[in-house]
């Protein structure tokens, strides 16, 4: 891809729509599920839409509608226009919306190759970074959301979404985007605007029943870096609102690509494991997809010293698994990390000596983790144990293959009135994580995104495709 240029056309802000002038602040306390992710790097993704129109058409016809519908949507999502902060009188951080708060919105034009950016083919990871805006970080707080809309003349446009993981999990972000798309697609939305129940955010924090003192434990570990830290110590930490740095510094050496597993491919993987292992395994599409990608990842990065030790890590949505259940439209974090802190390279070698192939060995681990979801004797004890154990697994030689997104979130159902996205891309996976989404063609398959060095990506692609070939049913990767 030739060197691309990006021109900023407008730096603006969008305020929540309001029919009256209000002077009342809106606050939302963070739960332990939120503070768990407080220092995590922002989640960043792209929605790319095909629209073969000139820039002037986009600026004059589409952009005003996108801005107006964004304002209408923010009326329902006030916290996203605010910031995360920690007032002196508060025992923990809060999301604070103050009348006059706005969402940063950048408008840009790019001559980059839209067809490449919206394809599955490998390209330099650095190419998508200009399509996103950063969150604003200060000593007193950090913005919760930033947006960037980039038009590609005669090709399409892209919406870049950046959100703070301390308040917004994947399901919350997807709900916001679908709400914005819903109001944009309405010819004449009523005022004040109404959203369908499933897209109307639920804010009641009392549905999260944190055990007494547990929030402070999480704050001490995540923010205070010390189990003995006090609330004041955490609040006065000069780096309170800075993020952990997971992003690779050599993006120009990294390539990103998307690989598709069809329903037929997943069925093939299921038969392969079922034929070789009679044990009771949970062979869902997620388990099989993650295990297969993980297996290819292990083999493609064998010589990478930064990935000498590799761990399994994914998150599970607990909205319908807590007691009482949390509504599906709850805005906030309600995901729990599920980890296995055994080095999978060593585990696979051990299993292969027992006659178990690498893919099946990984399936067995992931299956057990998935089966444990929602069945913990003490969920909060498990969360605390993971928080304490995780730092010991971090090093310059280790990698956690996390999962961003989910096929169940329906990213491709985000239609602003001009059709479904041509491609959905999770950008914030340069740390060794992968992304998952449903296939954009509605076929029931799964799209998996990942970022690797060029030679590793080539090796991964060979492993991925050869393992699924019709002549290789009994020898998958």
Active centre residues (catalytic): 165, 415
What is the structure's pLDDT at 222? 85
Q: What is the pLDDT of residues 398-409, one digit of tens each?
A: 999 999 999 999
- Does the pLDDT value for residue 474 go beyond 70? no
Q: Are 137 and 31 in contact (CB under 8 A)?
A: no
CATH of 251-414+429-469, one of 3.30.460.10, 3.40.50.80, 3.30.43.10, 3.30.559.10: 3.30.559.10
- For the segment 454-465, the average pLDDT, to the nearest whole number, is 98
CA 65 to chain centre: 27
Three-state SS string across 309-337, please? EEEEEEEEECCCCCCCCCCCCECCCCEEE
Strands 94-97, 83-85: pairing kind: antiparallel
Q: What is the pLDDT of residues 117-136, one digit of tens each?
A: 999 999 999 999 999 999 99
Tell me how far apart the alpha carbons of residues 171 and 408 are, in angstroms, rounded to a whole number: 9
- CATH dotted code for 6-236: 3.30.559.10
Domain pair 6-236 / 251-414+429-469, same fold:
yes
318's tokens: 């607990």
Whole-model pTM: value is 0.95
Q: What's the pLDDT band for 1 if we cut at 50, 70, 90? A: very low
Q: What is the pLDDT of residues 166-205, one digit of tens each?
A: 999 999 999 999 999 999 999 887 788 899 999 999 999 9
Per-domain boundaries in the chain: 6-236, 251-414+429-469
The residue written with tokens 């009348």 in the block is 99
Of 325, 114, 350, the residue nearest 202 (C-alpha): 325
**How many other β-carbons are positioned within 10 Å of the β-carbon of residue 378?**
10
Strands 254-261, 156-163: pairing kind: unpaired
DSSP 266-315: HHHHHHHHHHH--S-----HHHHHHHHHHHHHHHHTTT-GGGSEEEEEEE
């Amino acid at each position: 891809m030739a060197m691309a240029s990006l021109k900023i056309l407008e730096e603006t802000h969008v305020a929540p729509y309001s029919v009256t002038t209000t002077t009342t602040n809106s606050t939302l306390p963070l739960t332990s599920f939120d503070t768990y992710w407080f220092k995590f790097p922002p989640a960043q993704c792209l929605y790319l839409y095909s629209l073969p129109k000139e820039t002037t058409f986009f600026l004059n016809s589409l952009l005003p509608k996108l801005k107006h519908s964004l304002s209408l949507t923010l009326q329902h999502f006030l916290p996203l226009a605010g910031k995360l902060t920690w007032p002196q009188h508060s025992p923990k951080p809060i999301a604070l919306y103050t009348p006059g708060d706005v969402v940063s919105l950048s408008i840009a034009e790019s001559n980059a190759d839209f067809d490449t950016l919206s394809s599955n083919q490998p390209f330099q990871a650095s190419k998508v970074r200009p399509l996103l805006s950063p969150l604003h970080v200060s000593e007193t707080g950090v913005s919760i959301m930033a947006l960037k809309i980039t038009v590609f003349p005669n090709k399409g446009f892209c919406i870049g979404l950046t959100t703070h993981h301390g308040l917004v999990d994947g399901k919350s972000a997807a709900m916001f985007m679908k709400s914005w798309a819903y109001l944009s697609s309405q010819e004449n939305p009523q005022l004040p605007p109404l959203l369908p129940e499933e897209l109307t955010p639920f804010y009641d924090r009392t549905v999260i029943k944190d055990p007494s003192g547990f929030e402070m434990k999480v704050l001490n570990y995540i923010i205070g870096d010390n189990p003995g830290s006090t609330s004041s110590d955490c609040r006065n930490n000069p780096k309170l609102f800075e993020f952990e740095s997971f992003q690779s510094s050599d993006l120009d050496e990294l390539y990103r690509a998307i690989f598709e597993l069809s329903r037929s491919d997943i069925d093939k993987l299921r038969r392969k494991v079922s034929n070789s292992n009679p044990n009771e395994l949970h062979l869902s599409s997620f388990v099989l997809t993650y295990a297969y990608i993980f297996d290819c990842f292990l083999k493609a990065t064998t010589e990478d010293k930064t990935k000498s030790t590799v761990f399994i890590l994914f998150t599970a949505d607990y909205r319908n698994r807590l007691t009482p259940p949390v509504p599906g439209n709850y805005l906030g974090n309600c995901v729990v990390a599920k980890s296995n802190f055994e080095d999978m390279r060593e585990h696979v070698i051990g299993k292969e000596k027992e006659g178990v192939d690498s893919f099946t060995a990984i399936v067995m681990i992931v299956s057990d983790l998935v089966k444990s979801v929602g069945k913990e004797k003490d969920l909060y004890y498990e969360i605390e144990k993971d928080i304490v154990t995780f730092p010991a697994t971090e090093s310059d030689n280790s990698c956690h293959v996390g999962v961003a997104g989910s096929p169940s979130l329906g990213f491709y159902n985000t239609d602003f009135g001009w059709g479904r996205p041509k491609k959905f891309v999770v950008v914030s996976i340069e740390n060794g994580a992968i992304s998952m989404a449903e296939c954009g063609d509605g076929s029931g398959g799964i799209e998996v995104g990942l970022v690797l060095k060029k030679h590793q990506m080539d090796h991964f692609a060979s492993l991925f495709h050869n393992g699924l070939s019709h002549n290789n049913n009994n020898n998958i990767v």
